[in-house]
């Protein structure tokens, strides 16, 4: 019997719950954690075969779990997720031992394909990826929530005019 144990580490509880359900429906046996400390505790007790780790959490970085996973279970397949994608953190994640580095919001099919991909090169593209408009909208919503729903602060961080942001926030989400 193959081991399909999966650790999901993310401090965003609704996202973690949705991802847990999605990965369970894809055959994984999911354990989840909302903090680096919880994640380390799980890894020390029952090291998983797979891990999906958020890069930035309130109590640290998901990168700190990579070395712990490698020490407890060297063959663990790790995917890093982040809402703050840049080249430096992607390089750090891969150097630390992650298979791939995916921007949030990541599609569960893409995550599962990346975790299970065993050949050389990139895993196949998702069957039904999110549209660019939807990815943009999701990113804006995430930054807006992280800024405490403060429009001015969100606009400053996204480097856009406040009124433009208000117009975007007043519209419904684009289709997936």
The CATH number given to whatever domain includes residue 161 is: 1.10.10
Nearest-angstrom CA–CA distance, 86 and 7: 24
Nearest-angstrom CA–CA distance, 140 and 155: 9
- Let me know if 112 is exposed, middle or buried by CB neighbors in 10 A (0-12, 13-18, 19+): buried
15 occurs within a structural domain: yes
Model pTM score: 0.66
pLDDT band at 9 (very low <50, low <70, confident <90, very high): very high
**What range defines the domain where residue 165 resides?**
132-170
pLDDT digits (tens, 9 = 90+) for 125-162: 666 666 778 778 878 887 888 888 899 999 999 999 99
- Rounding to the nearest 10 degrees, give the CA dihedral for residues 109, 61, 145, 157: -110
The CATH number given to whatever domain includes residue 76 is: 3.40.50.2300
How many domains are contained in the chain? 2
pLDDT digits (tens, 9 = 90+) for 13-68: 888 898 999 999 999 999 999 999 999 999 999 999 999 998 888 888 888 888 88
The residue with greater pLDDT, 104 or 176, is 104
Query: Which letter, b or e, does each residue of 50-83 get, where b requires 16 or more Cβ atoms within 10 Å of its Cβ?
Result: bbbbbbbbeeebbbebbebbeeebeebbbbbbbb
Q: What is the pLDDT of residue 116?
A: 83
């Amino acid at each position: 019997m193959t081991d399909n144990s999966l650790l999901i580490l993310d401090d965003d509880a609704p996202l973690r719950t949705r991802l847990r359900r999605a990965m369970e429906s894809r055959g994984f046996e999911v354990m989840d954690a909302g903090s680096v400390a919880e994640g380390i505790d799980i890894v020390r007790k029952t090291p998983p075969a797979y891990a999906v780790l958020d890069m930035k959490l309130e109590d640290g970085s998901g990168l700190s779990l990579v070395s712990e996973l490698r020490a407890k279970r060297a063959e663990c397949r790790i995917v890093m997720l982040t809402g703050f994608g840049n080249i430096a953190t992607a390089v750090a994640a891969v150097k630390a031992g992650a298979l791939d580095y995916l921007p949030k919001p990541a599609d569960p099919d893409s995550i599962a394909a990346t975790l299970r991909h065993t050949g050389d090169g990139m895993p196949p593209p998702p069957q039904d990826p999110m549209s660019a408009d939807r990815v943009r909208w999701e990113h804006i919503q995430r930054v807006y929530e992280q800024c405490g729903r403060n429009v001015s602060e969100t606009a400053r961080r996204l480097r856009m005019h406040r009124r433009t942001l208000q117009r975007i926030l007043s519209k419904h989400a684009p289709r997936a």
